């Protein structure tokens, strides 16, 4: 294992932070891999020289001022191959990146919410073929928005009946026809803009009710449509469990995995000091500040977490549902989650915004690679991944017994950096 801090830290700050980082790093690896034993890149099947390209890449990102800092973890065969922090979590006070630095996850919240829902499926309290209206009554009367010419020739919103009800399955695989306002278009866009769903002023119950009153942008099951489906799923979890979304997740998922820095809000001053800030410019401004408590626990994008925490979650998935003797999901449930649920067999087509990308399908909360080719980078059929709007990203490759996680807070640079990191990781395998 190697974990060091690169970038803008001062000499005195670096010396202190290395001791802190190494101690925390050992604890994280004990929790995520089940042992503290040191590992070298060679033992994990990587080339040290080629892994050094990752270090060079992120050092350049820091030195050229593109990002304030980052943490990268690659773990294979149950042991760390690469674990390094770069730069700072706050450019104002120069606090270094550490394993307990807290990041906004945005859409990397979705896999956590999806696992929580699948736990309820295993408990018999929820089923993939349940109609969403069983849990949020407004979905029994939801309409689909279509465009039609008005008297003056301009396109107007026409509301039509859905061809079938929205199912829990649709919420998990993003086939419900529920967009984000920022991705909506045509005559459906204004109703979503006016609903102000992202403001945080509404509870999960209120958000779900407001969404049920909005028009769908497509028929249920027709398209992979990225949006608020997982937020509705968060409300379904509350109704099915009888608890708040966070309460259910904390008791059944977060606490059993030891994810102590994963939550919806950061209220304690000690934890607020760990928060990673983006660069202070208009392009990297975050949509929400988790240090400010609102009514909304967004199952689609509201959580914060640390590298140490998310590594436990991802290792649990790679282990097919178990970590350190604690089973979260059955192995067959993880297989179901990480299989492709869209495409020709399901009759679900890619939307105008198809974020999984070429060569990928979508499972229950994660993108799933279905083709060896097509994509712009190397990898394995069956690998799965997802990312967040602030730049966080994870990849699980069961064939290589490997996962990788990137933690950054840089909305403007995320796509470019995530693509480069994938190529650097696979380029370093022996």
| CB 323, CB 312: distance < 8 Å | yes
Looking at residue 37, its pLDDT comes to 34
Looking at residue 153, its pLDDT comes to 81
> Is the pLDDT reported for residue 60 higher than 90?
yes
Average pLDDT value for residue range 339-360 = 94
Could you confirm whether domain 1-430 is CATH 2.40.30.30?
Answer: no
> Is the pLDDT reported for residue 26 higher than 70?
no
Looking at residue 343, its pLDDT comes to 87
Looking at residue 411, its pLDDT comes to 94
> Is the pLDDT reported for residue 254 higher than 50?
yes
pTM above 0.95, yes or no: no
Looking at residue 24, its pLDDT comes to 39
> Is the pLDDT reported for residue 10 higher than 50?
no
> What percentage of the chain has pLDDT greater than the value 90?
84
Among left, alpha and beta (phi > 0; psi -120 to 50; other), residue 321 is left
Across 258-281, b (16+ Cβ under 10 Å) vs e yields: bbebbbbbbeeeebeebbbbbbee
| Residue with tokens 């995320």, as numbered in its chain | 414
Give the confidence band of 11 by pLDDT, cuts at 50, 70, 90: very low
> Is the pLDDT reported for residue 3 higher than 50?
no
> Is the pLDDT reported for residue 29 higher than 60?
no
Looking at residue 40, its pLDDT comes to 75
More confident residue, 236 or 43: 236
Domain borders along the chain are: 1-430
Q: How far apart are CA 208 and CA 183, in angstroms?
A: 18
Give the confidence band of 21 by pLDDT, cuts at 50, 70, 90: very low
Give the confidence band of 34 by pLDDT, cuts at 50, 70, 90: very low
Looking at residue 99, its pLDDT comes to 86
Secondary structure of the chain in the HEC alphabet?
CCCCEECCCCHHHHHHHHHHHHHHHHHHHHHHHCCCCCCCCCCCCECHHHHHHHHHHHHHHHHCCCCCEEEEEEEECCEEEEEEEEEEEECCCCEECCCCCEEECHHHHHHHHHHHHHHHHHCCCCCCCCEHHHCCHHHHHCCEEEEEECCCCCEEEEEECCCCCCEHHHHHHCCCCCCCCCCCCHHHHHHHHHHCHHHCCCCHHHHHHHHHCCCECCCCCCEECCCCHHHHHHHHHHHHHCCCHHHHHHHHHHHHHCCCCCECCCCCHHHHCCECCCCCCCCCCCCCCCCCCCCCCCCCCCCEEEHHHHHHHHHHHHCCCEECCEECCCHHHHHHHCCCCCECCCCEEECCCCCCCCCEEECCCCEEECCCCCCCCCCCCCCEEEECCCCCEEEEEHHHCEEEEEECCCCCCHHHHHHHHHHHHHHCEC
Q: How far apart are CA 134 and CA 149, in angstroms?
A: 35
> Is the pLDDT reported for residue 119 higher than 70?
yes
289-336 tens-digit pLDDT: 999 999 999 999 999 999 999 999 999 999 999 999 999 999 999 999
Please give the mean pLDDT across all residues of the chain: 90
Give the confidence band of 154 by pLDDT, cuts at 50, 70, 90: confident
Read off the tokens for 126: 């929820």
Lowest mean pLDDT among 24-38, 150-164, 181-195: 24-38
Looking at residue 170, its pLDDT comes to 98
Q: If we measure between CA atoms, which residue out of 202, 218, 211, 91 comes closest to residue 144? A: 218
| CB 83, CB 308: distance < 8 Å | no
> Is the pLDDT reported for residue 230 higher than 60?
yes
């Amino acid at each position: 294992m190697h974990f060091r801090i690169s970038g803008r830290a001062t000499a005195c700050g670096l010396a202190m932070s290395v001791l802190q980082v190494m101690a925390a790093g050992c604890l994280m690896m004990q929790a995520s891999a089940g042992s503290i034993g040191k590992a070298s890149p060679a033992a994990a099947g990587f080339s040290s020289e080629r892994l050094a390209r990752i270090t060079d890449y992120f050092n350049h990102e820091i030195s050229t001022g593109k990002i304030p800092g980052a943490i990268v973890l690659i773990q294979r065969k149950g042991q760390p191959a690469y674990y390094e922090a770069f730069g700072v979590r706050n450019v104002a006070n120069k606090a270094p990146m550490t394993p307990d630095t807290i990041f906004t996850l945005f859409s990397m919240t979705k896999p956590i919410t999806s696992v929580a829902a699948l736990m309820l499926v295993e408990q018999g309290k929820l089923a993939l073929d349940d109609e969403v209206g069983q849990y949020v009554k407004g979905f029994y009367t939801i309409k689909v928005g279509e465009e039609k010419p008005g008297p003056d020739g301009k396109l107007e919103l026409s509301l039509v009946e859905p061809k079938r009800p929205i199912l829990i399955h649709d919420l998990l695989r993003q086939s419900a026809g529920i967009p984000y306002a920022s991705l909506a278009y045509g005559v459906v866009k204004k109703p979503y803009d006016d609903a102000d769903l992202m403001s945080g002023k509404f509870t999960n119950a209120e958000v779900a009710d407001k969404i049920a009153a909005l028009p769908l942008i497509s028929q249920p099951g027709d398209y992979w449509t990225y949006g608020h489906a997982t937020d509705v799923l968060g409300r379904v979890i509350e109704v099915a469990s009888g608890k708040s979304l966070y309460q259910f997740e904390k008791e059944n998922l977060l606490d059993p995995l030891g994810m102590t820095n994963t939550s919806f809000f950061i209220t304690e001053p000690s934890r607020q000091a760990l928060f990673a800030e983006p660069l202070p410019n208009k392009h990297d401004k975050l949509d929400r500040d988790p240090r400010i408590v609102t009514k909304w626990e967004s199952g689609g994008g509201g959580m914060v977490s640390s590298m140490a925490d998310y590594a436990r979650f991802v290792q649990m998935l790679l282990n097919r549902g178990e970590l350190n003797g604690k089973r979260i999901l059955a192995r067959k449930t993880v297989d179901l989650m990480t299989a492709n649920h869209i495409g020709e067999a399901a009759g679900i087509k890619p939307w105008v915004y198809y974020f999984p990308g070429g060569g990928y399908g979508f499972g229950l909360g994660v993108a799933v690679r279905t083709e060896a080719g097509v994509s712009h980078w190397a990898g394995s059929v069956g690998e799965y991944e997802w990312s967040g709007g602030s730049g966080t990203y994870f990849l699980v490759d069961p064939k290589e017994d490997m996962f990788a996680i990137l933690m950054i807070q840089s909305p403007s640079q995320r796509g470019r950096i995530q693509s480069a990191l994938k190529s650097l990781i696979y380029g370093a395998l022996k």
